[in-house]
A and B are shown apart, each in its own frame.
Chain A
């Protein structure tokens, strides 16, 4: 039986929102007074689920609530979830940068985290000094670093600059050096959080390769947080899906990713506001309605790659002295922009206006998408950006064939392609 190397049992983490100020002292004293009398902390009873989109009533919020998670030896586990789901908080607890409010975490072996690379780099010091300093911060001894020094320098590709202060490095070199140090740690458990957001394509490939090497060839346990589903699919055997501070699903990679992707994109195809007072926006523009209207033959049929879609957008306009246009951004669930289109720019009267954008059939690949609508004045600056206001899903409708995999790519154009 493969043993667990991490056991997270009933872990919760409470944060206090807002400012630390005079009110804090009274809460602190009250809490202390309860504890002195042997009573329970009064502020642990309150607090709400962490949904950043809702305005809560309590100052206290649970970033994690009763999280249970076991990670087996040698497992590469991905952790996915929307922003604010508690992924990073969980990793912070595991890497001991902060302590849990309740519950316990048991760990077997040395843990190293790549929560952010380049920690403790000092700009005035040379690359050589920084490799030693950074390595020691991450838990290596001087001997270990000396042993791996050449390897690190080579991995980073900065041989020529080892004795130059890192403030003279290009940002790419800086990141490569930082990652190289971290990548040469030899912990039993490696925690990685979104390191792939940096560096060029070649370097990203190198990083993924290194992580794969660490996990498969050296049999180490890796916890990997990312919004990049491709990377997760490539690297992880197991995935945990977190939502509002809870682990809602743990299982085989493909399954969990599918659940995660479809979870957010089910019923968000319309938003409507009755009056400007309650609508999002600012003094210039307010959102009245945005809706995904598929042009379907049958009502309630799913949107497929063969369905044309109208994006209808209505807004209250308060700007009549400048030309205005709409700018639509379409994103995948991995937050990659598929395209951006702008409407014509014109002077509008104050009042309600409407824009419609047709996304033709045979354009989008199957998958989940979200739309941001930006209102731009004078073709140069944004009056307001309504971010991720609607989400929708495009389904597959391929005729059955021998192959069931997803067709790669953002777009799925129907092009003239003949064999002659």
Chain B
């Protein structure tokens, strides 16, 4: 007797359709996503005295170092924004991208233990990483707000306005880019660890190709300015600063360019991740 295929809840075959991404399954496991985020947050600062305060300390010190090196020593202008605020905002958004990318790029290797025993949609883990990093970003953003209010009380004019509503979209773009690149790299590292090493210093160097310690306006007319403006991260960072301070070099066109770039990376990421997750346990 031949049974019809529709009766089966699951059919496992060696090769799956390239675009069968099973995103609905990810949705079914949303509780797990929530619990992973909760776990990351709870476990990160167990047995520390300062706890989540560490989220303040790291950007604070980075800002101080940047102030000394890039503002005082190198005398790079900051687009008319108070230098402290300029660096803090840059560090907040950059840290978010960098931590999303480095943490998700390690998905398969770091979780081989769990993945080898139980099946759940593997995509849950990188998504949970990106989500828990939003919380860390939120804390850094809060710190930025406090400092901004301080500046306002000192008599500086600080811009609060409708443009602030753009910020969540910019953060989402960063999240998708970090996630997209991260899962591509994690798919490659299951077989070739070379990419872990490569990523380690690329992320560091990439920061200098993004207007974090200098404004785009400072370089745009120099001979290598094109390099910085073609970096898809540049429009996001500049737009972020523009939304906060109404200062910066950014156009809708360049933001659209970033958006398209991110969409392509993200789709490629989903497809490679989906292909690798099925059998990565054999090569990891």
Contacts and interface: CB of A to CB of B under 8 A. Distances in A.
B118 A138 contact: yes
Contacts of A142: 31, 34-35
Nearest to A167: B46
Interface residues of A, number: 46
A165 B46 CA distance: 10
Contact of B120 (A124, A132, A139): A139
Nearest to B46: A124
Contact of A101 (B11, B14, B43, B119): B14
A320 to B, nearest CB: 47
A202 to B, nearest CB: 26
B8 A108 contact: yes
Contact of A107 (B10, B113, B282): B10
Contacts of A102: 14
A45 to B, nearest CB: 16
Nearest to B116: A97
Nearest to A107: B10
B118 A120 contact: yes
Given A129-B39, A137-B118, A98 B278 contact: yes
A95 interface: yes
Interface in B9-65: 9-14, 29, 31-32, 34-36, 38-39, 42-43, 46-47
Contacts, number: 107
Contact of B12 (A25, A100, A115, A122): A100
Nearest to A101: B14
Contacts of A139: 29, 120
Nearest to B32: A136
Interface string A191-209: 0000000000000000000
Nearest to B120: A137
Contacts of A120: 114, 118
A107 B9 contact: yes
A136 B9 contact: no
Given A96-B12, A108-B8, A141 B46 contact: no
Given A104-B13, A108-B9, A133-B35, A116 B117 contact: yes
Interface residues of B, number: 37
B159 interface: no
Nearest to A118: B117
B191 to A, nearest CB: 6
Interface string A79-91: 0000000000000
B279 interface: yes
Interface in B73-115: 113-115
A99 B32 CA distance: 23
A90 to B, nearest CB: 12
18 contacts: A3-B3, A15-B282, A16-B282, A20-B191, A25-B192, A92-B281, A97-B115, A97-B281, A98-B282, A103-B13, A104-B13, A105-B11, A106-B10, A107-B8, A111-B10, A119-B113, A120-B118, A136-B32
Interface of B: 3, 5, 7-14, 29, 31-32, 34-36, 38-39, 42-43, 46-47, 113-120, 191-192, 278-279, 281-283
Interface of A: 3-4, 15-16, 20, 24-25, 28, 92-111, 113, 115-116, 119-120, 122, 124-125, 129, 132-133, 136-139, 141-142, 165
| Among all A-B residue pairs, the 9 with the closest Cβ atoms | A96-B119, A136-B32, A99-B278, A105-B12, A124-B46, A107-B10, A106-B8, A99-B279, A119-B117
